[in-house]
Amino acid sequence: MKQFLTSRRAFTLIELLVVVAIIACLVSLVMPSLAAVRQKADNLRCVSNMRQIGASVLLYVNDHDQRTPVIEPWPSQPVYSSTSGAQTMLQALTPYGVTPAVLQCPSDLKGPNYYAKEGSSYQWFPGASNQNTHAISSIFPRMNSQSMTMTKLFLMFDYSPVHSGSNYNVLYGDGHVATAN
């Protein structure tokens, strides 16, 4: 009698379904951590953008008699008069390396998208416009000039709290970025 040897060349439907179910379970376990990693990466990109803007502001200050640029905080609803010489952040800082990509916070683009409305995901603080960095106590006259330093002067911040709940990234006068509520 002749025996036929049968070889198994394919998976059965049950085996494929089991593998798919296992992969689905693993993906469901990994997805929440991937979202947190993506949010952290977006925040780091935002901080990096703000540091680049800070470096550009410091270059601007060196070229303009230690004065910060006059930047319109709300380009869609101007705060300054047309004769003040206020510019958008891109107009003022393009010669110092700021590009449209640097003005985009990934979390803002996914959410409220101030970049589309205002030309930047970051709002300039009007109190810092055209201020002499050597006389920053004039910005806040009620504060003791000894306690007011460039490390405490904030230049700009996120338009809205798009990072981890109610947190804003803030760019300070010395170029460092910190998170604030």
pLDDT band at 119 (very low <50, low <70, confident <90, very high): very high
Q: What percent of the chain has pLDDT over 70?
A: 86
CB neighbourhood size of 109 (10 A): 15
pLDDT band at 122 (very low <50, low <70, confident <90, very high): very high
Evaluate if residue 123 carries a pLDDT over 80. yes
Q: Which of 16-30, 120-134, 145-159 has the highest mean pLDDT?
A: 16-30
pLDDT band at 39 (very low <50, low <70, confident <90, very high): confident
Section 34-55 average pLDDT: 90
- Provide the CA 51 distance to its chain's centre, in angstroms: 10
Picking from 54, 10, 24, 48, the residue whose alpha carbon sits closest to that of residue 151 is 54
pLDDT by residue (tens digit) across 74-108?
999 998 888 888 999 999 999 999 999 999 999 89
Evaluate if residue 143 carries a pLDDT over 70. no
pLDDT by residue (tens digit) across 50-66?
999 999 999 998 999 88
Predicted pLDDT of residue 68: 87
Predicted pLDDT of residue 31: 85
- The pTM for the full model equals 0.77
Evaluate if residue 18 carries a pLDDT over 80. yes
Predicted pLDDT of residue 111: 86
